[in-house]
């Protein structure tokens, strides 16, 4: 090769390397921008029966359950058809998720979702959602910090999500269920307040209101309104990429046998989810780039046993879940799922992390994605 040709070749080679490097940098920026956001929302022990059928006449007609005011419930959630009733109870579910996303678990249509664990109460259920695994050792809500790693702790180790994760929960067991000490992201639960991590005026106001509020369950659990406003404020101001938000009133009021409060709590959670989705869909970085999973930790009994759950209560293993997000359509048809199917709670962790292209891996077996 002549010297001139060599010079030209060297120049060409260097130019190629330079262009390659620029492309790599651009791809990195694009990848960082495009890592999808993930928000998992739970409402404790809310039955599939109300999700798909709305208010249940057999329950609301009983004086011990309607708290002396059934007309309030019939006016608010009544309707001639199942469709009308469920839309009144959960308008965001049935007007938005059922059109843009998917809803699983209508057993009347043989679309079944169950917990894989054999306990049918909260700690085992949340652990199954978050770790993708049924650990038979977990048999108590007082179980110590969860030895099984969860999907958020996994995301905390991924470049795109590191230090962009937070959990807000009404029930004070989530420090343990999510093993806050080893997971590496903040878990604000029970009557803990957001002012421990944010010091702005609004955080302090919400924290003061929580501190001074009526607390029917003392330090064990706060009212959902505080969990919601703390989580929403954190979402808007810190812009995390992954969040867990857990509401508790549906379960508490059901144990009390207060069908009116149970339904109102579910109706309110539906509105909280709408506010989160509306914010995401109007915010750059979140718009068309956010996945939401809504689900519950366990089911409850049928008819008069609706107040209860646990392994001795028939039907309490049956749950439901709902999905929203840009590529949910890749899983299958949008809308209420009507094909015969059996899905399990332990599949949710893999399903959601597959949707955001960061498949969850752990030291324990993880349930397969549902698609």
Chain positions contacting Zn ion, by CB under 5 A: 45, 251
CB nearer Zn ion, residue 185 or residue 262: 262
Min dist. Cβ of residue 297 to Zn ion (A) = 8
Minimum Å gap between C-beta 254 and Zn ion is: 7
Distance CA 168, CA 366 (A): 24
Q: Does residue 289 contact residue 70 with C-beta atoms inside 8 Å?
A: no
Which C-beta is closer to Zn ion: that of 36 or that of 301?
Answer: 301
In angstroms, what is the minimal distance from the CB of 119 to Zn ion?
11
Q: State how far the Cα of 354 lies from the Cα of 349, in Å rounded to an integer.
A: 9
Give min distance, CB of 114 to Zn ion, in A. 17
Pairing of strands 318-319, 111-114: antiparallel
Whose Cβ is closer to Zn ion: residue 48's or residue 92's?
Answer: 48
Specify the residue, 307 or 337, whose C-beta has the smaller distance to Zn ion: 307
Smaller CB separation from Zn ion, 45 or 186: 45
Q: In this chain, which residue has its C-beta nearest to Zn ion?
A: 251
Q: Which is nearer to Zn ion, 49 or 289 (CB)?
A: 49
Q: Give least dist CB 228 to Zn ion, A.
A: 20
**Polymer length in residues for the chain:** 371
How many Å from the N-terminal Cα to the C-terminal Cα in the chain? 57
**Is residue 79 classed as helix, strand or coil in its secondary structure?**
coil
Of 154 and 253, nearer to Zn ion (C-beta) is 253
Q: In terms of Cα–Cα distance, which of 214, 220, 156, 216 is closest to 182? A: 156
In the complex, the smallest distance separating the C-beta of residue 232 from Zn ion, rounded to whole angstroms, is 25
Q: State how far the Cα of 351 lies from the Cα of 368, in Å rounded to an integer.
A: 7
Burial class (CB in 10 A: 0-12, 13-18, 19+), 50: buried
Task: Report d(CA 335, CA 52) in Å as an integer.
Answer: 12
Nearer to Zn ion, 52 or 306 (CB): 306
3-state secondary structure of 174: helix
Joined together, the tokens standing for residue 289 give 């780039």
Contacts of 31 (CB under 8 A, 6+ apart): 160
Report which secondary-structure segment, H or E, holds 290.
Answer: strand 290-295
Strand partners, 292: 39, 324
Which residues 6+ apart lie within 8 Å of 316 measured at CB?
A: 120, 298, 299, 300, 301, 308, 309, 310
The least CB distance from residue 212 to Zn ion, in Å, is 27
CB of 238 to Zn ion, least distance (A): 31
Nearer to Zn ion by C-beta: 240 or 299?
299
Torsion sign across C-alpha atoms 356, 357, 360, 366 = positive
Q: 43 or 102, CB closer to Zn ion?
A: 43
Shortest reach from residue 123's CB to Zn ion, in Å: 11
- Rounded to whole angstroms, the Cα distance separating 85 from 76 reads 9
Q: In what order do the strands lie in the sheet with 318-319?
A: 318-319, 111-114, 341-344
Residue 211 Cβ vs Zn ion, minimum distance, rounded to whole Å: 26
């Amino acid at each position: 090769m002549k010297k001139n040709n060599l010079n030209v070749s060297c120049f060409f080679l260097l130019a190629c390397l330079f262009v390659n490097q620029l492309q790599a940098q651009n791809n990195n920026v694009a990848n960082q921008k495009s890592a999808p956001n993930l928000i998992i929302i739970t409402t404790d022990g809310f039955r599939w029966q109300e999700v798909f059928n709305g208010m249940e006449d057999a329950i609301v007609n009983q004086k011990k359950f309607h708290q002396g005011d059934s007309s309030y419930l019939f006016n608010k959630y009544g309707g001639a058809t199942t469709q009308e009733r469920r839309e009144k109870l959960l308008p965001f579910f049935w007007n938005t998720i059922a059109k843009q996303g998917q809803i699983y678990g209508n057993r009347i249509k043989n679309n079944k979702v169950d917990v894989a664990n054999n306990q049918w109460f909260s700690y085992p259920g949340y652990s199954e959602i978050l770790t993708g695994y049924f650990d038979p050792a977990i048999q108590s809500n007082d179980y110590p910090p969860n030895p099984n790693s969860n999907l958020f702790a996994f995301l905390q180790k991924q470049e795109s999500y590191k230090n962009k994760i937070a959990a807000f929960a009404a029930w004070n067991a989530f420090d343990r269920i999510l093993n806050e000490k080893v997971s590496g992201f903040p878990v604000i639960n029970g009557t803990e307040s957001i002012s421990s991590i944010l010091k702005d005026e609004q955080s302090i106001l919400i924290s003061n209101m929580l501190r001074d509020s009526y607390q029917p369950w003392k330090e064990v659990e706060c009212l959902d309104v505080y969990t919601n406003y703390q989580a929403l404020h954190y979402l808007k101001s810190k812009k995390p990429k992954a969040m867990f938000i857990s509401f508790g009133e549906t379960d508490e009021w059901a144990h009390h046998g207060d069908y009116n409060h149970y339904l109102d709590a579910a109706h309110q959670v539906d509105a909280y989810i709408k506010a989160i989705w509306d914010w995401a869909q109007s915010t750059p970085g979140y718009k068309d780039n956010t996945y939401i999973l809504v689900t519950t930790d366990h089911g409850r009994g049928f008819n008069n046993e609706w107040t209860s759950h646990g392994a001795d209560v028939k039907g309490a293993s049956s749950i439901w879940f709902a999905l929203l997000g840009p590529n949910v359509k890749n899983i299958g048809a949008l809308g209420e799922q009507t094909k015969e199917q059996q899905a399990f709670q332990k599949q949710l962790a893999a399903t959601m992390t597959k949707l955001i292209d960061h498949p969850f891996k752990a030291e324990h077996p993880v349930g397969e994605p549902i698609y």
